[in-house]
Structure 1
Amino acid sequence: MKDLRKTSQKVLKEKTGNAINKNTKIKVNLSGKSIDKLTSGKALHKSIANGFTAKEHFKAVENIKSIYRKSVLKGTYPDRDNNPNIKDIKRFVTSYETCLGNKSTAYITVKCYKNGLNKLYSLELLK
């Protein structure tokens, strides 16, 4: 699992930068902090708890920018921690076929900051 995580981190570091959602035109940033969050044990365990493998999770994470581009905004929510710097939290969803051919729903969380920056925060695979 450590090798999968390190590989994903390396792939993502080459993909840092912005992506624009085709449906909402919301621009998001993939940063070093985003990469750490997306490849964290907590993020991985959510996908595993939903019946997916570590390989499926990490391969989806490696493709997060393309998955985000085609996703649909599910909703906008307040930050549960009431961070004064965060404007809101946006959740996006799209159908996604994993690297093992399993059908899933990719659930992406974006943190939108009051300074105008929107950061990719998490990805979870759902059945």
Structure 2
Amino acid sequence: IQLNHLVQRQDFDNATKALIRELEGGLPPDDGGKSFEYKTEGTKDIKDLRTELRQSLVPILNQDIKNKETGVVARISGTGLNKISSEKALNKSLENGFTKEEHFKVGADIKALFENARLGETYADKKGSADIKAMHRYFAEININGKKAQVKITLKESMQQGHRIYSLELGELNPLP
């Protein structure tokens, strides 16, 4: 039996599917992956940071972004862009010891981060929305201004729109779940 045929089965979780893809040669071996290094300088006004983020992400809005580990294709919409730059997402990064400049610098690289992130967990929508099939949390390790950090990228999987990049936050580096 071909392993690729097994990937299509609904009863396999994403980690199993990723392992099958790797065995079939669809993914490069895990050699630590791409290194994400970021540096920020000075402080900027929140309005300027939001404008810069929008300028960075507008070219990739509503375009397919494929995660290398799981093969999941997601898109970032205007709503996702607004969520990443929202006060709530920013406050989570600030509470975790990062600056607003660091949050927005990393947010501007969401495409590469999602492409290289690892799936950490899948869970039901906490709001119980009928259109949401599942929520997925992806993790990427980065180094920003000499600090090791973990980027948490949340995807919503909806019946109508498929996988949408919903939010991003910076956290201290913890072992992946």
TM-score, length of structure 1 as denominator length: 0.94
Q: Which residue of 1 aligns with 2:103?
A: 57
Deviations 1:51-104 (A, max 9, x none): 001111001110011001111111110000010000000001120122x23210
Greater radius of gyration (CA): 2
Unaligned runs of 5+ in 2: 1-45, 173-177
Which of 60, 67, 78 is matched with 1:32 structurally? 78
Aligned-partner residue type, residue 95 of structure 2: A
Q: Which residue of 1 aligns with 2:58?
A: 13
Which of 78, 91, 96 is matched with 1:45 structurally? 91
Which of 126, 145, 170 is matched with 1:125 structurally? 170
Higher strand proportion (structure 1 or 2):
1
Alignment RMSD, CA only?
1.1
Identical pairs, percent: 35
TM-score, length of structure 2 as denominator length: 0.69
Residue 30 and residue 116 in structure 1: after superposition, are their counterparts in 2 closer, same or farther (change >3 A)?
Answer: closer
Cα distance between partner residues in 1 of 2:60 and 2:118: 21
Cα distance between partner residues in 2 of 1:83 and 1:7: 32
How many residue pairs were aligned?
126
Which of 81, 85, 93 is matched with 2:131 structurally? 85
Cα distance between partner residues in 1 of 2:96 and 2:114: 20
In the alignment, is residue 76 of structure 1 matched against residue 122 of structure 2? yes
Deviations 1:24-67 (A, max 9, x none): 00000011111111111111111011000111100111001100
Greater RCO between the two (CA within 8 Å, min separation 6)?
Answer: 1
Structure 1 residue 6, shift from structure 2 partner: 1.3
Unaligned runs of 5+ in 1: none
* Runs of at least 4 residues off by over 6 Å: none
